């Protein structure tokens, strides 16, 4: 059986994977759905001092605790800390699965990879160091530390021999997806399996069965 480590996106906690994790566990797999430091826990006040390195450490700790190669999957922002963590523990990662997520190269940030609309949202947190949670998010979501979006990913390991899967959401409500440039880049890179799903950015809600099948396949 496979161990999955799941990394949430901005403002969210491990609870965003509850239904998906339940299905994977029902199939006999082990799932660690992370809640990153100072994000997505309504009982913990977000801390503007938290940066990308803090979240990378969260993911590295989960990889170390797993005790063997895992399928590491991240949604949206979660693609950044998971990539850096995989770079530091390549021997502990059997597959990387990006769920409508950023795929950083060395020196890139979430801010540098996104579009102007998303950057305008990030800038709403300039005064406090915390990007505000949009009102339409789950009530358990929290504000998000701005520093995590602006600290560069530092990568040194060649992960091309690790199985890599990208899942792209095609329905952004009539607006361009900020992950379009990422999709275009990965289509031209060898070694990637790319899926395009007719779903909104919250793939866990809009395409649960397809997402489950992608994750099961990544472990096969």
Asked about 76 being catalytic, the answer comes back as: yes
Q: What are phi and psi of 52, to 5 degrees?
A: -60, -40
Catalytic member of 76, 112, 177, 220:
76
CA 10, CA 187: separation in Å to the nearest integer? 25
Inter-helix orientation angle 18-26/208-218, to 10°: 50
CA 81, CA 148: separation in Å to the nearest integer? 9
Phi-psi bin for 191: left (phi > 0), alpha (psi -120 to 50), beta? left
Among candidate residues 111, 80, 98, 91, the one with its CA nearest the CA of residue 157: 91
Catalytic residue IDs: 76
């Amino acid at each position: 059986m496979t161990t999955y480590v799941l990394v949430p996106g901005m403002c969210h906690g491990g609870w965003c994977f509850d239904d998906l994790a339940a299905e994977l566990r029902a199939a006999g797999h082990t799932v660690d759905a992370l809640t990153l430091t100072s994000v997505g826990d309504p009982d913990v006040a977000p801390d503007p001092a938290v940066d990308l390195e803090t979240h990378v450490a969260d993911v590295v700790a989960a990889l170390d605790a797993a005790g063997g190669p895992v399928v590491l999957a991240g949604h949206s922002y979660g693609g950044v800390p998971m990539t850096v963590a995989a770079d530091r523990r390549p021997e502990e990662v059997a597959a990387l699965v990006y769920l409508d997520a950023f795929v950083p190269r060395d020196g890139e940030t979430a801010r540098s990879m996104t579009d102007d609309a998303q950057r305008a949202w990030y800038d709403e947190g300039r005064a406090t160091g915390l990007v505000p949670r949009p009102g339409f998010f789950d009530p358990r979501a929290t504000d998000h530390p701005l520093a995590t979006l602006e600290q560069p990913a530092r990568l040194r390991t060649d992960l091309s021999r690790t199985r890599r899967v990208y899942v792209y959401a095609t329905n952004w409500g009539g607006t361009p997806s900020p992950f379009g440039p990422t999709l275009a880049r990965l289509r031209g890179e060898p070694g990637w399996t790319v899926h395009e799903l007719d779903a909104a950015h919250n793939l866990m809600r809009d395409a649960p069965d397809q997402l489950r099948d992608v994750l099961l396949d990544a472990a096969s």
